[in-house]
Structure 1
Amino acid sequence: MSVVARLLAARGVQVQGADARAGAVLDELRDAGLTVWVGHEADHVAGVDTVVVSSAVREDNPELAAARAAGTRVLHRSEALAALMVGRRSVAVAGAHGKTTTSAMVATILRAAGLDPTFAIGGTVVTADGPVPGGHLGTGAVLVAEADESDGSFLNYAPTIGVVTNVEPDHLDHYGSREAFERAFVAFAARIVPGGTLVACADDPGARALAAAHRETGGTVLTYGTHPDVDLRVRDVVPDGAHGLLARLDLGEDTTELALRVPGLHNALNAAAAVAVATLLGVGLTEAARGAGEFLGTGRRFDPRGEAAGVRVVDDYAHHPTEVAALLAAARPVAGTGRVLVLFQPHLYSRTRQFAQEFADALGAADEVVVTGVYAAREELDPTVDASTVVDRMPPGRGRAVADRLEAAAVVAALARAGDLVLTVGAGDVTELGPVILAALGERSD
């Protein structure tokens, strides 16, 4: 929401808004000249032309209810962003995971190529000058957007290039079934404008099937992945240094080296998607790969939080079993001879219930696992789902269920020893526990 607010304000629209609680994002918006309140009140929408809401805003929200009663135009976040796409070539990045990183990589490559795209990404982008917000109104004719499939709102976009990193079932609380989830991605591909291109990861069975179906309907497709039969192939992926990797990219007869400053095969695939997009927008393969090498990461994606008592602490947004598995695969070479410890906070009762065994299997790749209470987000309390829902499915002794998150942080700190890598993992407020763990480690060291 803050990204859309920034982009609208940058276009000269008078923007004001409210959030449930204070935080750094609100401070940044105020510094940018926007009017922002803490707390929701009906008076905030008096006299406005349009109210923009996210999927997290319920109908009984005082501002939304007042807007409905007054007949004020109400747009979903994605509809406001789609309006900003008018008159630009647009890139919409979708998939159950990898959206934020891939979108940020596309923006980084295009900026390095001098195209100065507008972008709307659901997270901060790390640069050599420090983190920057995920929204930027560029001077170029390209808009890059992270397209959220969680509530079907990605179907509001009609992009020039649609990227699908994977079609792995998630958000079944919204879709109801795997088939409905997959049909939504077919509909997303169908919304790509005539003459546009679907960029799909052939390593993912769902995205590969989507690419084949889109071709059958006459759509243009560019596939990427590690298989020999893709259009843009990733090969020879090896770790490079503490947090990087090396690989080669083949596009037809053209080949180039890819040197990334972020770890993991999943990031090599994300980079391949971004490079593919850049080539479709006229950037050469080698130049695009070089631009990907400037990418330093996004907020909450393998985000280093500090080191104390010889223990490194990294935060990550992974909240789906496949994301957790990819994170741990990337973390293992980073840890070197040390152990990998995980403090995991499940996100949503419905997801935890549906994928409990898959979470248990993915977390099994860590040396020590502490699972804390479920972060409910938009859902009501479900007393039948908690930390033990995951831990009970792990081999005996491999995991600990600690409902209180501060107590869980203390347990992880007590388990850690010099040389270990500690990961705080999840899409909720587990991100706040890195400093807590570091403080506990620091006290022990003192």
Structure 2
Amino acid sequence: MNIQPFKYIYFLGIGGIGMSALARWFNINGFAVAGYDRTATALTNTLEEEGISVHFDDDIARIPADFLKDTAQTLVVFTPAIPADHSEYNYLKQHGFILQKRSQVLGLIAGGMFTIGVAGTHGKTTTSSMTAHILRHSGINCAAFLGGITQNYGTNMLLNEPTGELKNVPCVVEADEFDRSFLTLFPEIAIVTSTDADHLDIYGTHDSVLASFSAYVSQIKPQGRLFMRKGLQLAEKTQAKVFEYSIDEGDYHAENVRIENACFLFDAVHPNGIIKDLTLKVPGFHNVENAIAAIAVGLEIGLSDDQIRAAIASFGGVKRRFEYYLKTDTKVLIDDYAHHPAEVKAFLSSAKALYPDRHVTAIFQPHLFSRTRDFADEFAESLSLADRVILLDIYPARELPIEGVSSDLIFQKITCDKVQCLKSELIDVLKQQTCDVVTTIGAGDIDRYILPIKDVLQTT
């Protein structure tokens, strides 16, 4: 199936960040778009301002008449959050309309463009955002569907300029392994940043995770390219030409990495030469490595050294990825989305490198009972890189509690100075500490406490 036969695109749950991105893409590329959502939000307001019809009551009569005339011309995109008894959902299903999930439709869009898929258990959001920024900053007409809000553009997507022919227009897609949704993609170029054990509540075993990534790279077009972090075991699973990258070795790697004025400077070595004196404002050794992968794609697309150097220097990062909220001579506050032990280790290693002579407090909120159970020892080891850890209770997200699983599994094995508390107690606990560099870490709702933490730091 492809998107060409469709004229009308109807969304059930149009207001979500991912769904609204698809709606905007279809609208800008000449499709008639409408949709339902439960409540009005800033995102639905933006959609309406762009000419998309949105309604907020479950009423079949509110679906535009043209969308109901011909089932072959209307594609329905739905979110699994739509309840089973939803009137519009059941009407469209019973009357033979084609219903697709967001990941399936994203695959359809990407399948009609030149797809650059960025996958990995960690690093994919920053790497895909860097890749999209390098292309857009260099004047390439491209689209992008990302997993985070970019600082440069204030959105999780980039819209391509409308054109009659899309097959050569690059589309950068963050290829999500969570529910195997990246298996809807058949990219021309792919990056794989990591294949660590994660989402074991979904996959069960690390072997299942690896099998899913193997299936993903097998779908790269035979004439395509795979840029794979050195050490991953994926080369035999694809017909594409494979290149390895890392921060310090591989076909693409960094040299002369140093820190100046809280920026990372480095040279990018590639098979045909070297790009010297790149400046990356987004801190972190892991982000230098992410940049190497994005640079590899830029070179493959045909960009010049000067285009890449300028794009890297202007990359502003992604919300909740090493994001500064306070930066003075006496107080620093950094927020990061890290929720896997490898991510926590990479983040804290970079923070300690940036501030080698200062005291680092890590406030960590574990994400998921299952992930805490599966990686308690690894979390404790990574967190112990800090000088002090304030450990919060587990953010459950989609899970119910698991008997015997709490943040105490991590707390008992942390080897640095440590405090354990409920998030409701965090601000009072923080007031009792002498703080210098403070980091908030986690994928739950810890970001809601950033501004109160900032107030404490500025008044103590």
What TM-score does the superposition give when structure 1 sets the normalisation length? 0.87
Cα separation, 2, equivalents of 1:433 and 1:44: 43
* 1:199 alignment counterpart: 227
* 1:411 alignment counterpart: 429
- SS of the equivalent of 1:14 reads strand
1:321 and 2:341 correspond: yes
In structure 2, give the amino acid aligned to 1:138. Answer: N
* 1:393 alignment counterpart: 413
Structure 1 gaps of 5+ residues are: none
Between 189-198 and 77-86, report the one with greater CA deviation. Answer: 77-86
* 1:256 alignment counterpart: 275
Q: Give, in angstroms, the shift of residue 329 of structure 1.
A: 1.0
Q: Give, in angstroms, the shift of residue 76 of structure 1.
A: 2.1
* 2:397 alignment counterpart: 377
Find the partner of 2:100 among 54, 57, 75. 75
Q: Give, in angstroms, the shift of residue 324 of structure 1.
A: 0.5
Number of positions where the alignment pairs a residue of Structure 1 with one of Structure 2: 425
Q: Give, in angstroms, the shift of residue 91 of structure 1.
A: 0.2
Cα separation, 2, equivalents of 1:310 and 1:34: 49
CA distance change for structure 1 residues 307 and 277 in 2, over 3 Å: closer, same or farther? closer
- SS of the equivalent of 1:271 reads helix
CA RMSD across the alignment: 2.7
Q: Give, in angstroms, the shift of residue 37 of structure 1.
A: 6.7
CA distance change for structure 1 residues 431 and 26 in 2, over 3 Å: closer, same or farther? farther
* 1:167 alignment counterpart: 195
Q: Is the 8 A contact 1:113 1:287 kept in 2?
A: yes
Q: Give, in angstroms, the shift of residue 267 of structure 1.
A: 0.6
Find the partner of 1:353 among 370, 373, 383. 373
- SS of the equivalent of 1:126 reads coil
1:343 and 2:348 correspond: no
Cα separation, 1, equivalents of 2:305 and 2:88: 47
CA distance change for structure 1 residues 353 and 91 in 2, over 3 Å: closer, same or farther? same
Find the partner of 1:146 among 162, 168, 174. 174
Cα separation, 2, equivalents of 1:385 and 1:41: 40
Q: Which deviations, in whole Å up to 9, do the C-alpha atoms of 1:386-443 show, x marking residues without a partner?
A: 2222212223x7322212x2322432343243xx12111111111111001122334x
Cα separation, 1, equivalents of 2:76 and 2:354: 45
Cα separation, 1, equivalents of 2:131 and 2:270: 17
> Whose Rg is larger?
2
Find the partner of 1:133 among 146, 152, 155. 155
- SS of the equivalent of 1:96 reads coil
CA distance change for structure 1 residues 355 and 278 in 2, over 3 Å: closer, same or farther? same
* 2:204 alignment counterpart: 176
Q: Is the 8 A contact 1:341 1:416 kept in 2?
A: no
- SS of the equivalent of 1:259 reads strand
Cα separation, 2, equivalents of 1:398 and 1:293: 37
Cα separation, 2, equivalents of 1:102 and 1:171: 20
Cα separation, 1, equivalents of 2:218 and 2:85: 34
Cα separation, 1, equivalents of 2:373 and 2:195: 20
1:18 and 2:48 correspond: no
- SS of the equivalent of 1:412 reads helix
Cα separation, 2, equivalents of 1:45 and 1:360: 53
Q: Give, in angstroms, the shift of residue 120 of structure 1.
A: 0.7
* 1:279 alignment counterpart: 299
Q: Is the 8 A contact 2:257 2:265 kept in 1?
A: yes
Q: Which deviations, in whole Å up to 9, do the C-alpha atoms of 1:229-252 show, x marking residues without a partner?
A: x2112122111212x101111112
* 1:245 alignment counterpart: 264
1:433 and 2:454 correspond: no
CA distance change for structure 1 residues 101 and 388 in 2, over 3 Å: closer, same or farther? same
Cα separation, 1, equivalents of 2:61 and 2:104: 21
CA distance change for structure 1 residues 392 and 187 in 2, over 3 Å: closer, same or farther? same
Q: Which deviations, in whole Å up to 9, do the C-alpha atoms of 1:297-328 show, x marking residues without a partner?
A: 01110111236894222211111100001110
Q: Is the 8 A contact 1:3 1:133 kept in 2?
A: no
* 1:96 alignment counterpart: 121
What TM-score does the superposition give when structure 2 sets the normalisation length? 0.84
Q: Give, in angstroms, the shift of residue 52 of structure 1.
A: 2.9
CA distance change for structure 1 residues 248 and 34 in 2, over 3 Å: closer, same or farther? same
Cα separation, 2, equivalents of 1:238 and 1:146: 29
Cα separation, 2, equivalents of 1:61 and 1:172: 31
Between 363-372 and 306-315, report the one with greater CA deviation. Answer: 306-315
Q: Give, in angstroms, the shift of residue 15 of structure 1.
A: 3.4
Cα separation, 1, equivalents of 2:204 and 2:141: 40
* 1:118 alignment counterpart: 143
* 1:6 alignment counterpart: 24
Cα separation, 2, equivalents of 1:317 and 1:44: 42
Between 320-329 and 406-415, report the one with greater CA deviation. Answer: 406-415
Cα separation, 2, equivalents of 1:343 and 1:316: 10
Q: Give, in angstroms, the shift of residue 263 of structure 1.
A: 1.3
CA distance change for structure 1 residues 171 and 145 in 2, over 3 Å: closer, same or farther? same
In structure 1, give the amino acid aligned to 2:141. Answer: D
CA distance change for structure 1 residues 262 and 3 in 2, over 3 Å: closer, same or farther? same
In structure 1, give the amino acid aligned to 2:188. Answer: T
Q: Give, in angstroms, the shift of residue 144 of structure 1.
A: 0.4
Q: Which deviations, in whole Å up to 9, do the C-alpha atoms of 1:235-281 show, x marking residues without a partner?
A: 22111212x10111111241112211111111111001001111111
Cα separation, 2, equivalents of 1:267 and 1:94: 15
Q: Is the 8 A contact 2:111 2:185 kept in 1?
A: no
- SS of the equivalent of 1:85 reads helix
In structure 1, give the amino acid aligned to 2:160. Answer: G
Q: Is the 8 A contact 2:336 2:439 kept in 1?
A: yes
Structure 2 gaps of 5+ residues are: 1-17, 68-73, 162-167
1:297 and 2:290 correspond: no
Q: Is the 8 A contact 2:130 2:294 kept in 1?
A: yes
